Amino acid sequence: MMFRTVSARSAVIALALLVAGCAGQNTRELIASNIVQAPANSIAGRHEIFVATTRAKATDPKEAYSGDRSATVSFARVDMTVPVIHKTGEIERRKRGQRADPAKYFTADSISTFDSTAAFSKSLRADIAQRGGRALVFVHGYNTAFDSAVYRVTQIAHDASYSGTPVLFSWASGAKVSDYVYDNNSATAARDALEETLRLVAKSGATRIDIIAHSMGNWVTMEALRQLAITGDGDLGGKLGDVVLASPDIDVDVFKSQMHRYGKPKKPFYLFLSGDDRALEISSLIAGNKPRLGGYKDAADIASLGVVVIDLSKVSSGDRLNHTKFADNPVLVKLLGERLATDSKLGTGETDTSSRVGNLAGGITQTIASAAEIVITTPFEVLNVVVGGGQ
């Protein structure tokens, strides 16, 4: 018993050392006191991010929402800008003490809150209608402050050239390495709220809803989808589009049980995994050396559940933990969320899936500079794709 305790503590310490560098620059200030006036030609894009969150409001209005839990869901909209100097896959953000300069950094122009679900739905409906009926729900992972979650969904929407409405579902992460158990419990507590948020997006006029979940966000996402399936509405009345599971921090056996209860999807889910994901290696240690889905070796085992498994183990990452490859190469998100579905009719057959995966492989080839092999395992076949090296 003592050995187990020491091992768990060592794992947490190791995780702290690994992640501390990534979290150290975060200011947690989404709204700056003063924003530098930037010329229009220095702004590459403007994005309205709709937010549903189980976080409590922060005492500091610049932070907007804290890591504490709320018993009710809050709704907001954040108006974001992305600078022209932005590099695909990166998030340019100011450090503490630096001025908010939209010409240099991701910047929140403003945040608007809604006093009721109806008011939020009305605003969301108008935006979805303006953008062709599509919505993308992003669910962040462990150790993520509210501002970091907003920046990430903005980066994904911008780099993917996503034309629909971005919706951030932000659960109450403590945004500290030591809060792993707290975060896991917060994600679990948020599953009902995510289920209702997905229903709300569907009721607000969306004709197609794509979901991207990262890390521990996959846990709350799979639980919400499982609950939808139990009620007989697993595909949101036919509106569920692509479900992208990026680096899932879920026990493999738990995921299998979730999928068995959900049932084989009408259209396969997409799983991005990587055998060199160092964050998930530590998570596995904390969990008693049980494999995490995002680093699982047996792709065929998972594909049999109705999942397209995309192994990015040999693809380089801008993240030294290799835990955010899906966003470091964000065109993958665009291909899954938009390009792989050329119209509103979502195919479900073997031919459709093979064609979509073929398009994915071709798209990846254009976005990775150095040669690498990606192994794509579908419910029907295994593709070994050598990509990149041609730029």
Size of the chain in residues = 391
CATH class of 2-387: alpha beta
Domain limits of the chain?
Answer: 2-387
Torsion of Cα atoms, 341 then 344 then 348 then 350, to 10°:
-40
For residues 251-268, one letter each, b for 16 or more C-beta atoms within 10 angstroms of the residue's C-beta and e for the rest, the string is bbeebbebbeebeebebb
Q: What is the pLDDT of residues 86-131, one digit of tens each?
A: 998 889 999 877 889 999 999 999 999 999 999 999 999 999 999 9
C-beta separation of 52 from 73 below 8 A = yes
Q: What is the pLDDT of residues 30-57, one digit of tens each?
A: 998 889 999 999 999 999 999 999 999 9
Whether residue 187 has pLDDT greater than 50: yes
Type of residue at 84: V
On average, the pLDDT of the chain sits at 84
Average pLDDT over residues 139-151: 96
pLDDT at 385: 62
Comparing 286 with 262, which gets the higher pLDDT? 262
CA–CA separation, 273 vs 312, rounded Å?
6
Band of pLDDT at residue 253, cut at 50, 70 and 90: very high
Which residues have CB under 8 Å from 174's CB, separation 6+?
Answer: 67, 143, 182, 183, 186
Q: What is the pLDDT of residues 206-247, one digit of tens each?
A: 999 999 999 999 999 999 999 999 999 999 999 999 899 999
CA–CA separation, 267 vs 288, rounded Å?
33
